[in-house]
Amino acid sequence: MIDPLTAFAVAQGAIKGVQAAIKMGKDINAISGDLMKFFEAKDVVAKAAVKKKPKGFGQSDTAVAFETVMQLKQLQDAEAELKQMLIWSGNDDVWNAIMLERNRMVTERKKAEAEAAHAKAVRAEEISDIVNFSLWSALVSSIVGLVAWLTWQIVGDGR
């Protein structure tokens, strides 16, 4: 996986490539590669924004947050500009299809993540039940064994 700084640079380069191609009158197929690069890089930066931690002793949380927010803002502005360029070039149907597909994919991913989390929780509960049953079984067996041993000792001494 590429780091957020590289992804940000890739996204900026991709948007410049798209802008140049549209200005030159190229069709949507000619810019599809740059579009994919842009959206992939934007996703990397957005995911890193959620997980980003200070890079070391010299950088504060505020500085990291500022850098991340500014990068995301620039990429959101670039996406809005890209949308307008596609609409102006007569490709609004392509933009709408991209957004519908992205929303569908995000919904499916979130559903799959929720199902995986639920399955993990169910498995953890099953393991907990097995451990509890085993511990209770061991305790009961120990008590029965102790009672049997004591009974044997008492009966054996009483002869």
Q: What is the pLDDT of residues 37-80, one digit of tens each?
A: 888 888 887 777 776 555 555 667 788 778 878 888 888 888 88
Say if residues 46 and 76 touch (Cβ distance below 8 Å). no
Q: pTM of the predicted model, to two decimals?
A: 0.57
Q: Report pLDDT digits (tens) over 21-40.
A: 777 777 777 777 877 888 88
Residue 6 has pLDDT above 90, yes or no: no
Q: Bin 94: left if φ > 0, else alpha if -120 < ψ < 50, else beta.
A: alpha
List the chain domain ranges.
Answer: 4-90
**CA-to-CA separations, 159 to 92, 145, 152, 153, in angstroms, rounded:** 100, 21, 11, 10
